[in-house]
Amino acid sequence: MDSKREAFTACQQDEGARLDSFLSAALEGVTRSMAQQLIAAGNVLLNGAPAPKSARLHAGDEVACVLPPPRETTVLPQDIPLQIVYEDADLLVVNKPKGMVVHPAPGNYENTLVNALLFHCRNSLSGVGGELRPGIVHRIDKDTSGLLVVAKNDAAHQGLAAQLAVHSMTRVYQAVVYGRLRQDEGVIDAPIGRSSKDRKKMAVTEKNSKRAVTAYRVLGRYRGFTHIELKLQTGRTHQIRVHMASIGHPVAGDPVYGPKTVIDELGGQCLHAGVLGFRHPRTKAYLEFTAPLPEYFTKFLHKLQREESV
């Protein structure tokens, strides 16, 4: 797996921050000690030149970092039950439960979807994703439930990844969001990039961003909430959560992009990847799968329906 290059521009909020602290906040899954190791190895440039870990940043500084390919890890198979919706020699479609992390990250190598897949598939997973993400073509957040396609070989992985790249996969979600949406349907076309205020979050921004498009339609309105269906036309990190928050209707239960007072009963955002469609990388036949709303979602809807009828 090749090295990965990341580049960031320091903003006003980063003024005076140490280089190692800035990097650990900007890079997902990278601790401060790991950032210091990258700097010491010469993998980080500040305005085109090496700099010490204690270098203080100024607004407008350019930070470039080369992330080496992941080293072989001891990610072990675990006999964790999987809800498999479809499986053949090339791929499988899994209905991921809420609360399960998709792939291991530094310091967390157990109880992930990858651990379960390694047990279920034995040695039959693509290697394109590297040691930490074998077979993983795309991901959904830990507290988002729903459908994922997993590649069993490199050819299938490349074929599926190509469809993701041109946004030809069908990916439809359901969510409950705060507030009552006035329009019955709409399209949010707003670029998403790393937040300048909090490097661990994404945001609608013109700076260092990529185009992101989400279409939505209302399925039901309740007291203080709206049940909606969303169709991804692109696939950016936290896209639905960021887009809905940007128009004043964050996903219910979202601890990151929602209100400070979180709906504890949901255990995270009320968001479900319910429909997944793609062309089979070998046969070219179009396949589409549906996962019903999970219990946490339907219980919350029933509660809203009861409150609306009072």
CB 123 within 8 A of CB 134: no
Phi (first) and psi of residue 181, to 5 degrees: -65, 130
CB count within 10 Å of CB 107 equals: 8
Is 141 one of the annotated active-site residues of the chain?
A: yes
Q: Report residue 209 as tokens.
A: 């961003």
CB count within 10 Å of CB 236 equals: 19
Longest CA–CA span in the chain (Å) reads 65
Phi (first) and psi of residue 236, to 5 degrees: -90, 160
**Catalytic residue (choose from 14, 61, 90, 141):** 141
Which residues does the annotation mark as catalytic? Answer: 141
